[in-house]
Homo-oligomer: A and B are copies of this chain.
């Protein structure tokens, strides 16, 4: 017998009787024409920061990569398996998205792990430790800011890592060329799980600010 967890089956019933019912035409059209999203989101796997919820996005609207800590590693054309680079290449070269948004969020477990120098590996492979070591230099300076509270250090690193990922996006030739031509723009955002506030990166300064919603 095919089997799925009950909460997923119940949720799927709601989908069929709700969103799919009202948007079936859109789904059929998207199946026929193919997807053509304007925006790629690089987000965290965290269960509390789903981009489609936060941006109230319908089918076909967002091409979404999610990994722990919403990290983009630097360009490394070494013939290895790079899931993030593959998604990026597909979004930019094949789908020709116009925007890439790196979206982080508060209370991120991956960032918390990066800030704890004494964290034991979660398994012998220590995949999280290795993955989060991408931002190790920043994590070290933030960890040493002992006058800041634990939450302040974490928020600081969450925002630093967004800027870091955006800088890495620009190490991909296709990204930097298209950005230079004005055909692709890069954005940063940070979601506060508790208050629902979205903080958007100021491109000139790198600061995160609240957008004025009309």
Q: List the interface of chain A (C-beta within 8 A of B).
A: 1-5, 7-9, 11-16, 18-20, 24, 27-28, 30-32, 34-35, 37-40, 45-48, 50, 52-57, 59-68, 71, 73, 75, 77, 79-91, 93-95, 98-99, 101, 106-107, 109-110, 122-128, 130-132, 134, 137-138, 141-142, 144-152, 156, 159-160, 163-164, 172-174, 185, 187, 189, 192-196, 198-203, 205-211, 213
Contacts and interface: CB of A to CB of B under 8 A. Distances in A.
A175 B187 CA distance: 36
A130 to B, nearest CB: 6
A129 to B, nearest CB: 9
A61 to B, nearest CB: 6
A55 B8 contact: yes
Contact of A82 (B38, B131, B200): B131
A91 B152 contact: no
A4 B46 contact: no
Contacts of A150: 205
B109 A198 contact: no
Contact of A59 (B48, B98, B148): B48
Contact of A56 (B1, B15, B86, B192): B15
Contact of A138 (B53, B98, B147): B147
Nearest to A93: B122
4 smallest CB-CB distances across A and B, nearest first, come from: A31-B194, A2-B200, A86-B131, A77-B125
Contacts of A156: 145, 147-148, 152, 156
A162 to B, nearest CB: 11
